[in-house]
Chain A
Amino acid sequence: MTSPRINRRTMLRSVGAATIGLPLLEEMIGSTALGAAANEVPVRSFNVFFGLGIPAPLQTEGFDGVLEPLKPLSDKLLIMRNVDQVRCDESGINAHYDGASGAFTAEPPDGEARAGGPSIDQVVRKTHYPDGLPSGMVPTLMGGTFFRRSRVGRYVHSYNQNGTVAATIQERPRDLFERVFGMISGSDGTDAEKRQFKRSVLDSVVEQYQFFTGANSPLGSASKARVADHLERIREYEQRAYEMKASPKGAPGLPPRSKLAHGGPADPGGQGIDMPLDDLTAEWRLLADLYALAVQLDRVRFGSLTFLAAGERLRVKGDYKYDGRTIWQFDDAKQLNASGDQGCSHEWWHKFNEKKKNEQLRAHAHMKMREVAYFLHRLNGPDAMETNGRTILENSLITISTESGDGRHNDVKRELSGVFHAITGANGHFKTGQIMDVGAEGIDVYNTMLAGMGSKDRLGPKDREFKSIDGIRA
């Protein structure tokens, strides 16, 4: 590893010029909750997605196999095997996309850039914060490290009630930092008169957006929801521009610029890119640190974090070590003896064979579990202890899932069966410390989780009978 752990107080004392001001960070740190009472544990829900999945047969090995990195957290997790997401298959589209779109929604996609319904985190959000989150919070934070981007369903994992994307995903650590902690540049000027005029401009803008979201708006419901979302963003902008105090002298700077390819260059026509392992894990950890810090500081209660897109295409190279031992030496292109998309780690999933060792696949999956565990640990340390004596990890509903239970496209039933799932206890609502064969559809598992979180809304078709999976509830 090239990136040291960043803790909540020191994390931003890193390299990079302070080109963007910070709100009163110390103030935020001192007051862990912007909206919650001091002794109240807020309701939170996050979706953690990792690409390419863990074939069901490997899940049966428990913590002796690819799940080993989760073992130190085993008492805080309920690992669910044999979860069926076959209903998420949409004919005509490969299951990478279907499975990813179905993760946390349990529904097949509805179009190229829309899920078939809301994701778990957004339903919980709506249930517990029907009038919006307390001022100053990011309503939904989506972050992720991903490269394959032919369809947003591959990497987006928070969806609104109507299946549209719940927020813009932040893929660079610096972007995520700015989204959570950034102030609006130029708004902290000392020209009081100019500020007053700007304020007047903003008031008129807000008034217009209020009208188009109000009772006399000429817009239909979908459009109104879109404009309401815009208004919510304006409120946030307003709060940052005019309500937060200026950053104190010597405030920490931005995280370093990302070394990885992002945007279009990250996905050269589906052909995949070369990826040094250290660069990848360094960025993952920085993103995980930032996301976890945002949660610790109560700037974020809902959202998702993506560890690689569905069907990700990377030619990974580098030595992978865990717990002092070398697990594998990655060199996908060489080991596959191919270039372009055919030289990517993705191919190990297509080559999966229960009767063989599947060493490369195992190493990749193990490595991803290590990174997921890294993020979870950030929410489980002394910094994350809350007033009820539990950590944020224990108090939150964190759902960890992926796109498939098998890497072979040729059988949807097999590919979307046995999709790995793990959840946290959500402040005592769900069992933990077990590996459970639930043998149920994802939609029933998710709806049971929603019921456990006090939500009356259910995912899936309205006329579908809800089958409660009581075994997972505490």
Chain B
Amino acid sequence: MPRQLSRYLVLVLSFATTLFGAEDSPSNHRVSNGLVALYDFSENGGNIVKDRSGVGKPLDLQIADIDAVQRAAASLVVKRETTIRSAEPAAKIIDAVRRSEAITIEAWIVPANSKQSGPARIVSLSASANGRNFTLGQDEDHFDVRFRTTKTNTNGIPSVASPKKSLKTSLTHVVYVRNRSGQAKLFIDGKQNGGQTVAGSLSNWQSNHPLSIANEVNKGRPWLGTLHLVAIYSRSLSPEEIKRNFVAGSQGNYDPKAYAAAQLAARNRTAFETRVAALISNHCLECHDSRNKKGGLDLSKKNSALAGGDTGKAIVPGKLSDSLLWESIVSGEMPKERTPLSDAEKKQLRDWIEGGATWSLNVIDPATYAHSGQANDVWVQRLTVTEYIETVRSAVGVDIAKEAREILPKDLRADGFSNTAYNLNIDLKHVEAYAQLAETTVARMDALKFAKRFSKSENLSTDATMRDFVAAMGKWLLRGPLDDREVTAYCGIPTTVASAGEDYETAVSYLIEAMLQSPKFIYRIETQRGDGSAWQVGNYELASRLSYIIWGGPPDKQLMRAADDGKLDRNGVQQQVTRMLNDPRAIERSKRFIFDWLDLGRLDNLQPNEEKFPNWTKPLATEMREETLAFFTEVAWTQKRPLAELLNAQVTIVSPRLARHYGLAAEGDGNQKYDLSATPGRGGVLTHGSVLTVGGDEASMVTRGLFVLHDLLRGVVKDPPPCVDTRPVPTKEGLTQRGIAEQRIANANCGGCHAKFEPLAFGLEKFDGIGAYRDLDHYGNQLRDDGEILFPGAAKSIPYKNSAELMTLLATSDRIAESLTWKVTQFALGRPLVAADASIVAKIHESAQADGGTYSSLITAIVTSDLVQTTRTENTQ
């Protein structure tokens, strides 16, 4: 680590590591991801040892007796006993490690001798000689680490020790890591040298301990020697990372110039990917993308953007005055007939060009920047109505679906899904409904039988077993351990019941009723306050994330046990996910995704014109929805095919009525599976009535095309330009919907955008407004299903001869597969994705595709990604 490493530098590098992955960091740099505290002893004098991690509020240490130490070159020699400790509790370390249940304690030291013992405290987070969260110490000729969990005593014993005679009195790199599964290891000079399991959770970590080095906090366990570096991470570094820190050396082994360059590069990449690309996307790509390329300029890709257009170089790195892009913007010439760039945007663009115009993306995808305004929000997720029903069912075994759907307000769709957290508001009706539903649920339960799962005692006394019972039942119902405050609060209920002379069963009933209305039941409460960076989520939080993403309900016993035992590391998660995906609840949850994504709830309200569609009946709409859900189940779960094949799978499952509507020979009663490989036009979700009806009675090319563009291809188009009549044009004899669309595309004012989406619907023209197949429209005009498709970002359209070819083009396109990754990820997270998520989503996509591109592989990739394993925190330090 370089001496005097600035806080800002670490932050930048930390962000860069998160953004680009640890593997992108130079191999001779120290690992910064997960760093919480860092001491490099580079002060020239004084009694303060500065925390140089740059993470949160600095946790500086005070040297009590300055004469007991001696400052040396980037090190501190402890000559005799003193205390070197933080004045305040080490809250940032305690909070971060308690959440992650993992830690790395690292030190570069030279012990003064091999006799000191106690163990002598090298680094300690403790309150006294007998109470600690952890201590890295020296016990004569070996290292000894005490680490407190629920399975150790309050002193962190049993401890983990290195072998006898493993300690030298020369410069030594010692590292202790403990992961979330409880595996603890000691490394000396980059090599493992001891280890064992330290089981249990960190829920009993004390929050008032200061950090001390070279002694116990209240003296009595001095360690003498030279300190070169002490670092604490809130995660367990891998052996490769430990090796890297060892190679970097006691003084970091850094080249300040290389660091400065890395800093600048990281800053430029961030600026480009989150701001400059966004403004190019929003202001320029409507005309200057690969397809339209007005003036010969394509600003969507690096090479074409730097090559420039017909009039010369648009961007000249480092030379603002030579960059025509800048000139056209400041002169007001561009964006043409659109909102000009704001002053802030102009400054971003100017800084970027002057700074060398770093271009770190393959292509600027406008869809990535559609939600750029919401990047910093972190919203608690209220359970949706469906999740609430499943949570009650899983938690207490009562089916409350009918009543809940009746009295809970509906969850409204926002950004394409009904589980978008920011829109899950609360109203008086919710409060009343939750109270009523809790009462109804309890009335249907055998409260005593339920209570026996948590306590054999039926004693109402809070001095006896009631507190334990409340804690145990609360942990199950509220999806994680209760703290003392919560247990005490809930114990007020049995106390009230007891004082009225009522019995244990009454108390249990009201307790359950209260817990079913708790914010920890109604919401998915997580720790969101931190230092502004991404933190590892806690075990119970992760368990809930997994279960709600995969099942739409709470963790089951096995998942809770895994959280209890700290077995939710990456391998543990993988095992749980495999198990959970084999549960029918996973299928139901995935159907909810399809329901929301394709807005299948819309079918309940269809009212096609009776004169135009005399054969339409209400049940047909229901059967259309059932078709799509059954089709999805068949493709994704029964046949386990890649999700993209939803677009062209030659199979469907329909009722006899819907089969007749589609022109199929109806077979048997109830829903039947049909092979569509010999049925022209029909095959794939786009040919379902549930989707085709999106175009309204007139089977609008615009609406259908925009649906394909937005919901399947994640494409973006802008408003119609000025002076264009946007009223729908009716068909007539000699003029089909396609003919009208072709006129629009040929129109210079409309074609730029309409060419991007209307041809996507050409292949659907033979389906009328309610999805029936025909060759002629009601004016007798011959219909066609050939056309061409322009994938977002592509320069040229690809022709197709008929609907079936269109479906195959879609099913085999990377864009569709990628869009499905984005949509499923958005649904899993319950929030729109933003530019900062893009690099992680790309990794999810890559991983899922490598694993077959199925729903299961995609869900697995999502829940093992940083989007689920970590949480964005709000800086409150």
A7 interface hit (Cβ, 8 Å): no
Chain A residues with CB under 8 Å of B413's CB are: 112-113
Chain B residues with CB under 8 Å of A323's CB are: none
Chain A residues with CB under 8 Å of B724's CB are: 410
Residue of A nearest to B424 (CB): A226
B680 interface hit (Cβ, 8 Å): no
**Interchain CB contact under 8 A, A234 and B431:** yes
Chain A residues with CB under 8 Å of B420's CB are: 113
Chain B residues with CB under 8 Å of A41's CB are: none
Chain B residues with CB under 8 Å of A200's CB are: 492-493, 496-497, 510, 514
B:18-40 near A, CB below 8 Å:
none
A456 interface hit (Cβ, 8 Å): no
Residue of B nearest to A236 (CB): B428
CA distance A197 to B382 in the complex (A): 27
A:36-84 near B, CB below 8 Å:
none
Contact A269/B693 with A197-B496, A197-B506, A226-B379 known, Cβ cut-off 8 Å: yes
**Interchain CB contact under 8 A, A226 and B415:** no
B410 interface hit (Cβ, 8 Å): yes
**Interchain CB contact under 8 A, B510 and A197:** yes
CA distance A408 to B424 in the complex (A): 34
Q: Which of B605, B609, B718 contacts A269 (CB 8 A)?
A: B605
**Interchain CB contact under 8 A, B500 and A193:** yes
Chain A residues with CB under 8 Å of B876's CB are: 220
A94 interface hit (Cβ, 8 Å): yes
B683 interface hit (Cβ, 8 Å): no
A474 interface hit (Cβ, 8 Å): no
Q: Which of B374, B506, B605 contacts A110 (CB 8 A)?
A: B374
Contact A203/B492 with A91-B719, A92-B716 known, Cβ cut-off 8 Å: yes
**Interchain CB contact under 8 A, A269 and B428:** no
Of A92, A196, A266, the most chain B CB neighbours within 10 A belong to A92
Contact A410/B422 with A201-B514, A226-B379 known, Cβ cut-off 8 Å: no
A128 interface hit (Cβ, 8 Å): no
Chain B residues with CB under 8 Å of A92's CB are: 716-719
CA distance A202 to B516 in the complex (A): 11
**Interchain CB contact under 8 A, B606 and A184:** no
A321 interface hit (Cβ, 8 Å): no
CA distance A155 to B721 in the complex (A): 26
Q: Which of B410, B485, B492 contacts A211 (CB 8 A)?
A: B485
Contact A219/B380 with A92-B717, A264-B601, A269-B605 known, Cβ cut-off 8 Å: yes
CA distance A212 to B527 in the complex (A): 11
B:695-729 near A, CB below 8 Å:
696-698, 716-728
**Interchain CB contact under 8 A, A91 and B718:** yes
Residue of B nearest to A109 (CB): B373
Chain B residues with CB under 8 Å of A212's CB are: 519, 525
CA distance A111 to B423 in the complex (A): 10
Contact A222/B422 with A204-B489, A208-B486 known, Cβ cut-off 8 Å: yes
B526 interface hit (Cβ, 8 Å): yes
B414 interface hit (Cβ, 8 Å): yes
Q: Which of B380, B428, B722 contacts A226 (CB 8 A)?
A: B380
**Interchain CB contact under 8 A, B427 and A233:** yes
CA distance A185 to B338 in the complex (A): 55
B378 interface hit (Cβ, 8 Å): yes
B598 interface hit (Cβ, 8 Å): no
**Interchain CB contact under 8 A, A168 and B427:** yes
**Interchain CB contact under 8 A, A412 and B727:** no
- Binary interface profile of A, 251-285, with partner B (CB < 8 Å = 1, else 0)? 00000000000011111111101000000000000
Residue of B nearest to A203 (CB): B492
B:821-877 near A, CB below 8 Å:
832, 873-874, 876
B604 interface hit (Cβ, 8 Å): yes
Q: Which of B414, B430, B696 contacts A271 (CB 8 A)?
A: B696
B204 interface hit (Cβ, 8 Å): no
**Interchain CB contact under 8 A, B373 and A111:** yes
Q: Which of B379, B500, B528, B873 contacts A197 (CB 8 A)?
A: B500
What's the dominant secondary structure at chain B's contact region?
loop
Chain A residues with CB under 8 Å of B484's CB are: none
CA distance A265 to B618 in the complex (A): 12
CA distance A111 to B727 in the complex (A): 26
B:730-749 near A, CB below 8 Å:
730
B:119-144 near A, CB below 8 Å:
none
* Distance in Å: Cβ of A179 to nearest Cβ of chain B: 6
Q: Which of A193, A203, A205, A270 contacts B696 (CB 8 A)?
A: A270
Residue of B nearest to A113 (CB): B414
**Interchain CB contact under 8 A, B519 and A111:** no
**Interchain CB contact under 8 A, B378 and A223:** yes
Q: Which of A119-127, A339-347, A377-385, A434-442 contacts B (4 or more CB under 8 A)?
A: A339-347
A:366-389 near B, CB below 8 Å:
none
CA distance A111 to B421 in the complex (A): 12
Chain B residues with CB under 8 Å of A227's CB are: 380, 519, 523
* Distance in Å: Cβ of A202 to nearest Cβ of chain B: 8
Chain B residues with CB under 8 Å of A217's CB are: 529
CA distance A88 to B416 in the complex (A): 22
CA distance A408 to B722 in the complex (A): 10
B273 interface hit (Cβ, 8 Å): no
**Interchain CB contact under 8 A, B720 and A410:** yes
A421 interface hit (Cβ, 8 Å): no
Chain A residues with CB under 8 Å of B522's CB are: 230
Chain B residues with CB under 8 Å of A237's CB are: 428, 431-432, 435
CA distance A212 to B486 in the complex (A): 12
B360 interface hit (Cβ, 8 Å): no
Residue of A nearest to B603 (CB): A269
Residue of B nearest to A413 (CB): B722
Residue of B nearest to A205 (CB): B517
CA distance A164 to B607 in the complex (A): 31
A295 interface hit (Cβ, 8 Å): no
Chain B residues with CB under 8 Å of A188's CB are: none
Chain B residues with CB under 8 Å of A410's CB are: 720-726
CA distance A266 to B602 in the complex (A): 11
A17 interface hit (Cβ, 8 Å): no
Contact A340/B696 with A110-B373, A226-B426, A410-B724 known, Cβ cut-off 8 Å: yes
B518 interface hit (Cβ, 8 Å): yes
CA distance A233 to B382 in the complex (A): 15
Chain B residues with CB under 8 Å of A264's CB are: 601-602, 604-605
Chain B residues with CB under 8 Å of A354's CB are: none
Chain B residues with CB under 8 Å of A185's CB are: 436
- Binary interface profile of A, 133-145, with partner B (CB < 8 Å = 1, else 0)? 0000000000000
Chain A residues with CB under 8 Å of B414's CB are: 111-114, 152
Q: Which of A89, A201, A351 contacts B493 (CB 8 A)?
A: A201
CA distance A113 to B486 in the complex (A): 35
- Binary interface profile of B, 547-579, with partner A (CB < 8 Å = 1, else 0)? 000000000000000000000000000000000
**Interchain CB contact under 8 A, A342 and B496:** no
Q: Which of B424, B492, B725 contacts A204 (CB 8 A)?
A: B492
CA distance A409 to B724 in the complex (A): 8
B490 interface hit (Cβ, 8 Å): yes
Chain B residues with CB under 8 Å of A340's CB are: 608-609, 696-698
Chain B residues with CB under 8 Å of A412's CB are: 719, 722
**Interchain CB contact under 8 A, B605 and A267:** yes
A10 interface hit (Cβ, 8 Å): no
- Taking A201-B513, A409-B720 as given, write out 19 further A-B residue pairs in contact, using a Cβ cutoff of 8 Å, ordered by the A residue number: A94-B719, A164-B425, A167-B427, A168-B428, A168-B429, A179-B429, A185-B436, A197-B506, A202-B435, A204-B492, A208-B486, A218-B527, A226-B379, A227-B380, A229-B425, A233-B427, A264-B605, A269-B606, A271-B608
Chain A residues in the interface with B (C-beta under 8 A): 89, 91-95, 110-114, 152, 164-165, 167-168, 179, 184-185, 193, 196-198, 200-205, 207-209, 211-212, 217-223, 226-227, 229-230, 233-234, 236-237, 263-271, 273, 338-342, 347, 350-351, 408-413
The 9 closest A-B pairs by CB, nearest first: A113-B414, A223-B380, A168-B427, A220-B874, A220-B528, A218-B527, A268-B607, A200-B496, A339-B609
Instruction: Give 11 CB contacts A-B under 8 Å.
Output: A91-B282, A113-B413, A179-B429, A197-B496, A197-B497, A200-B496, A234-B431, A263-B410, A268-B607, A350-B726, A410-B721
